[in-house]
Amino acid sequence: MENGSENDAAGLAAELQDLVSDLMVRPDREQVASEIGVLQSIYGDSAIRLWHPRGGSPEHSISERRHASNGETAETIRYVVFLNLASYEDVSIRILVSLPPSYPASSSPQLQLLSRYIGAFGVDASLFGSILRTFISASGIEWSPDTICVFDGLQSVLERCEAWYEDKLSREKVGELRREDTLAREQQQEEALKDEGAEALSIPRSGPLPQDAALPEGIKLTQAEPIMDRRSVFVGRACRISHPSQVPLILNHLMSDRHIARAAHPVINAWRCQVGNVLHQDNDDDGETAAGSRLAHLLSILEINDVLVVVTRWFGGIHLGPDRFKHINHAARNALEVGGFLDQIEDPAKGGKSAAKGRKR
């Protein structure tokens, strides 16, 4: 079996070499032959294969090419390039390259995506269409006569396919998070029903706060849409508080969610609470150095009191550097906006403050 595969590979390589040799002796096609050699040196000898119509044989294709009218190679040259996405080496695509007889003198190439799937996702018409328009779209690759440009086109296709694939992964991840959140809530509801049954039977409780503790009475958590970057996920939550003693109860409630508890940094948080004439405030990095103090600074410059903001980060395996702090702050601010806390901020257009700003509780 292995010998058969080796023979097939050798036959394909010999077929391509025959084409290159034919083209090298033709002044009008020498550039095409040289370009194929450059592509082989970049992507590997086995990455490029001649394309044959379904049902056609290599021998028939080469015979037609060699015996075209007047002994010239007049037909369009077509070959397939097999490439892997740069950031996902296990995900491959196939691109058909078509070179008209007048390329590169007065015509550009045409690229076509042959892959029906990229990874586990079926390719949609918009991606197929954008690749077909690589050299004819204003947002594609600029081509000028007598310029070989297949490499630039292939790199553009790789970038677009990778961006498309990452978008599909992000959408799938958001869907998974929502399904896991739904499952976690259902499990919490089941556990709450068990707890209610235990209380009805007057079963005594003692010791530390239970891990499935409910939120303090009157507390309502708001949650913003997830922020995703390079497989990391950031989710912001916020709620109004009336006393510092509520903070550990709320954080304990969040940590009772198994999905949140499995995050790299489950409860990065900061809070401010006015009790009488005293403003209480604190923050916690939860392992993400300096993240808590940045959230505290956000609350300070927004001048929002009586609020707890919490950001959960799931690490995707790729270090984000300083971008992680930007996402943490954005997740927190989004949660504050969803919760209506930004209504307290001064409106510059009106030259003053809203009635809610700076209100002490």
* Number of structural domains the chain divides into: 2
Residue 249 within any structural domain of the chain = yes
User: In this structure, are 237 and 105 located in the same domain?
Assistant: no
Residue 96 within any structural domain of the chain = yes
Q: Which residue intervals of the chain are DSSP H helices?
A: 2-24, 30-43, 58-66, 125-132, 150-200, 246-255, 258-261, 291-302, 323-338
Find, among 66, 92, 77, the residue nearest to 158 by Cα: 92
pLDDT at 38: 92
Contact criterion met (CB below 8 Å) for 293 and 226: no
CATH code assigned at 141: 3.10.110
User: In this structure, are 161 and 16 located in the same domain?
Assistant: yes
Q: What is the pLDDT of residues 74-105, one digit of tens each?
A: 588 999 999 999 888 899 999 999 999 999 99
pLDDT at 350: 43
Residue 353 has pLDDT above 90, yes or no: no
pLDDT at 344: 60
CATH code assigned at 256: 3.30.230.30
Find, among 61, 64, 130, the residue nearest to 95 by Cα: 130
Identify the band that residue 134 occupies on the pLDDT scale cut at 50, 70 and 90.
Answer: very high
The overall average pLDDT reported for the chain is 79
User: In this structure, are 23 and 128 located in the same domain?
Assistant: yes
Q: What percent of the chain has pLDDT over 90?
A: 33
User: In this structure, are 99 and 237 located in the same domain?
Assistant: no
Q: What is the pLDDT of residues 160-184, one digit of tens each?
A: 999 999 988 888 777 766 666 666 6
Residue 99 within any structural domain of the chain = yes
User: In this structure, are 298 and 153 located in the same domain?
Assistant: no
User: In this structure, are 125 and 250 located in the same domain?
Assistant: no
pLDDT at 182: 65
Residue 356 within any structural domain of the chain = no
Residue 349 within any structural domain of the chain = no
Residue 204 has pLDDT above 70, yes or no: no
User: In this structure, are 40 and 162 located in the same domain?
Assistant: yes
User: In this structure, are 145 and 273 located in the same domain?
Assistant: no
Residue 35 within any structural domain of the chain = yes
User: In this structure, are 137 and 248 located in the same domain?
Assistant: no
Q: What is the pLDDT of residues 241-288, one digit of tens each?
A: 989 888 989 998 898 888 888 888 999 999 999 888 888 999 999 888
Of 322 and 97, the one with more pLDDT: 97
Residue 158 within any structural domain of the chain = yes
Q: Mean pLDDT over residues 22-40, rounded? A: 89
User: In this structure, are 89 and 230 located in the same domain?
Assistant: no
User: In this structure, are 158 and 262 located in the same domain?
Assistant: no
Q: Mean pLDDT over residues 230-243, rounded? A: 91
Q: Which domain holds residue 230?
A: 221-344
Buried b (16+ CB within 10 A) or exposed e, 19-40: bbebbeeeeebebbbebbeebb
Residue 348 has pLDDT above 70, yes or no: no
Cα 33 to Cα 17, 134, 345: the distances in Å are 9, 22, 66
User: In this structure, are 21 and 162 located in the same domain?
Assistant: yes
pLDDT at 349: 45
Find, among 96, 112, 109, 115, the residue nearest to 141 by Cα: 109
pLDDT at 139: 76
Identify the band that residue 130 occupies on the pLDDT scale cut at 50, 70 and 90.
Answer: very high
Identify the band that residue 138 occupies on the pLDDT scale cut at 50, 70 and 90.
Answer: confident
- Give CA–CA dist 347/333, Å, rounded: 17
Residue 352 has pLDDT above 50, yes or no: no
Residue 315 within any structural domain of the chain = yes
Kindly tell me the burial class for residue 257, based on how many C-beta atoms sit within 10 Å of its own C-beta (0-12, 13-18, 19 or more).
buried
Cα 54 to Cα 43, 51, 58, 61, 93: the distances in Å are 25, 9, 11, 12, 19
